[in-house]
Amino acid sequence: MPNLITRARSHTTRNNKNVYGLEERNALFSKDPDVRKFDPERILCNMCDKWIALPPEDHLQAVQKWLQHRAGCRGGTGVT
């Protein structure tokens, strides 16, 4: 079924806005061992035990915010 392959995101546009859909965001979070729980508006860090508020509709921003927090946690600076 070659159709399925073409269907899978061939839109490599330069548009930064919707790089992450909700599904990608959830997939990323659920694979991350440092994420204990998450819902559309927040994420629970497994390292510092804190909920981080996330923009529910801006998935790129949400992912970036989490990555930033995680980097801070890893580095021991505890960025919130």
Instruction: State the nearest-atom distance from the C-beta of 20 to Zn ion, in Å.
Output: 20
Instruction: State the nearest-atom distance from the C-beta of 9 to Zn ion, in Å.
Output: 30
Under rule CB under 5 A, residue 47 binds Zn ion: yes
Under rule CB under 5 A, residue 35 binds Zn ion: no
Q: With CA atoms as reference, report the closest residue to 48 among 29, 75, 73.
A: 73
Phi and psi at residue 44, to the nearest 5° = -100, 120
**Pairing mode, if any, of strands 42-45 and 51-53?**
antiparallel
Query: Among 24, 48, 51, 65, which residue interacts with Zn ion (rule: CB under 5 A)?
Result: 48
Residues that bind Zn ion (CB under 5 A): 45, 47-48, 73
